[in-house]
Amino acid sequence: MTALTLSTAAAPGLRADAIVIGVAKGTKGPVVAPGAEAVDTAYDGGLAGVLETLGASGAEGEVTKVPAPSGFKAPLVVAVGLGAQPEKDAEYGAEALRRAAGAAARALSGTKKAAFALPLTDAADAGVIAEGALLGAYSFDTYKENGKDARNGKAPLAEAVLLGGRPRDKAYKAAVERAVAVAEELNRARDLVNTPPNDLNPASFAAIAQGAAKDHGLKVQVLDEKALAKGGYGGILGVGSGSAAGPRLVKLSYTHSKAKKHLALVGKGITYDSGGISLKPAGHNETMKCDMSGAAAVFAAVVAAARLGLEVNVTGWLALAENMPSGSATRPGDVLRMYSGKTVEVLNTDAEGRLVLADALWAASQEKPDAIVDVATLTGAMVLALGNRTFGIMANDEAFRSAIHEAAEEVGEEAWPMPLPEHLRKGMDSPTADIANMGERMGGGLVAGLFLREFIGEGITWAHLDIAGPAFNEQGPFGYTPKGGTGSGVRTLVRLAELTAAGDLG
């Protein structure tokens, strides 16, 4: 991963391969942002004009490269767009800085060392710029010859130096250390999502979790097929019954001696989703290795909480299965007895995520945590409703739903609160079982949320994040977001854990 340092050095005298500066979109053309004063001075105050001549406007994510001025030890200046120039006396937003740093880091793949001279006024700015650079430099190269960047055959940016940072200041150091921990774990989640399903199945995912638990002092429990059968986890077993790779339920626990609250996180971990007997058509199954993104997010968030030493107990539940068709697979019309004791009529085997989550949610409820949050690539309906970059939030408590929405916005994740309309519950009534796994087609994302609510213990605050849209980016990279697995939900979950530890959430 990209190395990160803080420096008080001036841009002209720093030995690096490139100097990254910010440029904003002003009313009369591009405007050089604070942090780049020394660079602009070396151009006799004409850097904005040079950039405009080259077609730069300051639009968000725009990258323009120019030769460094005489006297600079770095040969290249990289101007990255910050978007609209803030109003007078206003500062650049955290997400604008994060995205600019990410776009620059991605554009500098193949570079050994880059100095970032972006607007930096305090430790919080240092943290978001560091996070953006680390996330933007990400590359999944496990299956590439010689470990080269999948985008252009070049290695990721090796080192990022944050100019204007204060390496001896405790607040700056803490902000950067947090950024490193969160970014490294988020990138671990991306790696998991990008790993092909012939290498990542429930057992291998569980083994990775066990390894991380050993590294970070976490407690881990893995239930295999025999333990799941003995415990009566009919949902997880039913989904995994068609695959030669058996299902797993992983419990990953981080505890702190001073913790006063307990947060439970539950992740959907379908390591490959063919749809089962209700087989997905061609064009809808090629990226279904990403159907374990929720479990990856939960896993990453628990490890990040441990690395940050948060004063909160966090338990992660990874509901892992592979949904495949075979002679032993669950059929439409089958009835499963869930861990809670409820029975579910399976009308569509491609609505499997809610079945594995139901067992894990009930298991989490037995510990009576202060709150449960589940994360899942659950429904295509949510993608239709909110698009590819926004996840939906449903909850049994409006204040909790609002708190999660605010946390997501704070860390730069696009999210939107969604309702749980009671009239949609009737559509899941079954003449055979307690409930069906399908209901009305319209509002399918909300129906799924209502189904999950049936498996939350009485009196427990709960929220559901449907990350089906943003979990896997099939378009081109943007900002600090790569093509492929994105790590959606990780930063929101970590922020929730921080707020809970601080006593600011519930």
Distance CA 338, CA 348 (A): 16
Distance CA 166, CA 209 (A): 36
From 51, 34, 202, select the one nearest 122 (Cα to Cα). 34
From 418, 394, 416, select the one nearest 405 (Cα to Cα). 416
Q: Where are the beta strands (DSSP E) in 149-199?
A: 159-163
Distance CA 265, CA 317 (A): 6
State the Cα angle at 303 between 318 and 193, rounded to 5°.
55
Distance CA 164, CA 118 (A): 9
CB atoms within 10 A of CB 173: 16
What is the chain's length? 506
Residues 390, 416: contact at Cβ < 8 Å?
yes
Task: Give the helix/strand (H/E) hosting 215.
Answer: helix 202-216
Distance CA 254, CA 213 (A): 9
From 501, 471, 484, select the one nearest 296 (Cα to Cα). 471
Distance CA 315, CA 102 (A): 31
For 115-142, give the DSSP string.
EEE----SHHHHHHHHHHHHHHT----T
Distance CA 206, CA 226 (A): 15
User: CB-based contacts of 469: which residues, under 8 Å, 6+ apart?
Assistant: 382, 383, 386, 387, 388, 389, 390, 391
Distance CA 428, CA 436 (A): 5
- The conformational region for residue 286 under phi > 0 = left, psi -120 to 50 = alpha, else beta, is alpha
User: What is the C-alpha end-to-end distance of the chain, expressed in Å?
Assistant: 36
Q: Report the C-alpha dihedral over residues 101, 105, 108, 112, rounded to 10 degrees.
A: 120
Residues with a known catalytic role: 280, 354
CB atoms within 10 A of CB 257: 6
Residue 280 class from Cβ within 10 Å (0-12 exposed, 13-18 middle, 19+ buried)? middle
**Residue 368 C-beta-side C-alpha neighbours within 13 Å:** 2
